Amino acid sequence: MQQVYLDNSSTTKVCREAVNAVIKTMTETFGNPSSLHSIGFAAERALADARTQVASVLSAKPEEITFTSGGTESNNLAVFGAAQSRRKRGNRIVTTAIEHPSVLIPMQQLERQGFEVVYLQPDKSGHIEPQQLFDAVNANTILVSMMAVNNEVGSILPIDAARTAIDRAQAPALLHVDAVQAFGKLNLRPGRRGIDLMTVSSHKIHGPKGAGALFIRKGTHILPRTFGGGQENNLRPGTEAMPAICGFGAACAALPNAEEERKKIAELNTYLRAGLAKLPEVVMNSSEDALPYVLNLSAGRVKAQTMLNFLSEHNIYVSSGSACAKGAKSHVLTALGFSPMRINSALRVSFCRYNTKEDCDAFLTVLQDGLATLQKA
């Protein structure tokens, strides 16, 4: 059977445009962008072009883009950099209980440093209500950090309400949005929405691993986490990872229209949901209004890892939640209040522009076989 890859929220296949850009950067424009000779100048131009390509997706200025090694580094730079830069102006930080570990673990570290961190709890659909933000953000709040789209269930969080909450409270807070799962899928436009910091990643949009970016709105000041050369406005010192960065830029340039592509993915999501509805053992964990790229479900009484192994043996590839968790119990589904059995049997299907209805059919067939076989064991 041909491979069916439905784990695109974990990582994506690198598109041909990005592959070509990586090869060109490694073999032609291979210089150090800081070198003062023609090969270095060519690399500097390539770096500037990539910055412009990433900025374009966000309707941002190129100088508002700081390149990093990926989403985790961008989140760490945003959270620690914002909190430390505003420490004299307040002590309260507001986030949610369903953030990625690269936000939650830094938050725990900040708590140990004396910051007060408020974790907003979702409802059973993964939603955070605007009123929760209005109640939590006060004049002592220095940072609100919230993902745009949850990586496990696809719920869309109210980032505009976060901006409103900050303004209503007249708080000195910066607004950080982890947009790794939304980048290229929603029209984000952070500068127009009052978002100060936004995290994006290359390998979620068919670019290479090892590159990401932090949008930093013009006039926003955060403190660096590492020190050395003056690269990336002194926020991310060290010679830039040019092949990954140029591949990232090329992947951005190759992105289809976000709205049109989302409609196509929504059709796949609806098609798969209809097939899953015919399997009485399956329970949906993603709400109908979630971003259609992500569909989380629980498969009867079969442990997720057991079902993953069965699917993999038949060349079907999904995940049991966040790839970063490596099989650990989902803190997201726990926060949603699901039973241990429902959590332990949860699978995440995540789509990309290369997926088809035939992929959905193959998954449904093997899943049904797996339920029939494994629930007897």
Active site residue 352: no
Write b or e for each residue in 104-126: b if 16 or more Cβ atoms lie within 10 A of its Cβ, otherwise e: bebbeebeeeebebbebebeeeb
Mean residue pLDDT across the chain:
96
| pLDDT of the residue at 377 | 58
Burial of 343 from C-beta contacts in 10 A (0-12 / 13-18 / 19+): buried
The pair phi, psi for residue 137, each rounded to 5°, is -80, 125
Give span(s): CATH 3.90.1150.10, the chain.
4-13+257-374
Q: Kindly report, residue by residue over 259-290, the tens digit of the pLDDT.
A: 999 999 999 999 999 999 999 999 999 999 99
Burial of 228 from C-beta contacts in 10 A (0-12 / 13-18 / 19+): exposed
| pLDDT of the residue at 232 | 87
Query: Three-state SS for 270?
Result: helix
Q: Residues 6 or more apart from 79 whose CB is under 8 A from it? A: 103, 106, 107, 110, 143, 145, 176
| pLDDT of the residue at 143 | 98
Mean pLDDT of 289-311: 96
Please tell me the distance from the alpha carbon of residue 260 to that of residue 258, in angstroms, as a whole number: 6
Among candidate residues 15, 252, 324, 352, the one labeled active-site is: 324
| pLDDT of the residue at 358 | 98
Q: Which of the four CATH numbers 3.90.1150.10, 3.30.450.40, 3.40.50.1100, 3.30.2010.30 does domain 4-13+257-374 have?
A: 3.90.1150.10
Q: Is a pLDDT exceeding 60 seen at residue 322?
A: no
| pLDDT of the residue at 327 | 58
Quote the tokens at residue 69: 């090694």
Quote the tokens at residue 217: 């709105």
Give span(s): CATH 3.40.640.10, the chain.
16-253
Mean pLDDT of 278-305: 96
Categorize the per-residue pLDDT at 89 as very low, low, confident or very high, splitting at 50, 70 and 90.
very high
Q: Say if CB 153 and CB 100 are below 8 A apart.
A: no
DSSP-assigned states of every residue in 147-164: ESB-TTT-PBP-HHHHHH
| pLDDT of the residue at 325 | 54
Per CATH, which fold does 16-253 belong to?
Aspartate Aminotransferase; domain 2 (3.40.640)
| N-term to C-term CA, the chain | 25
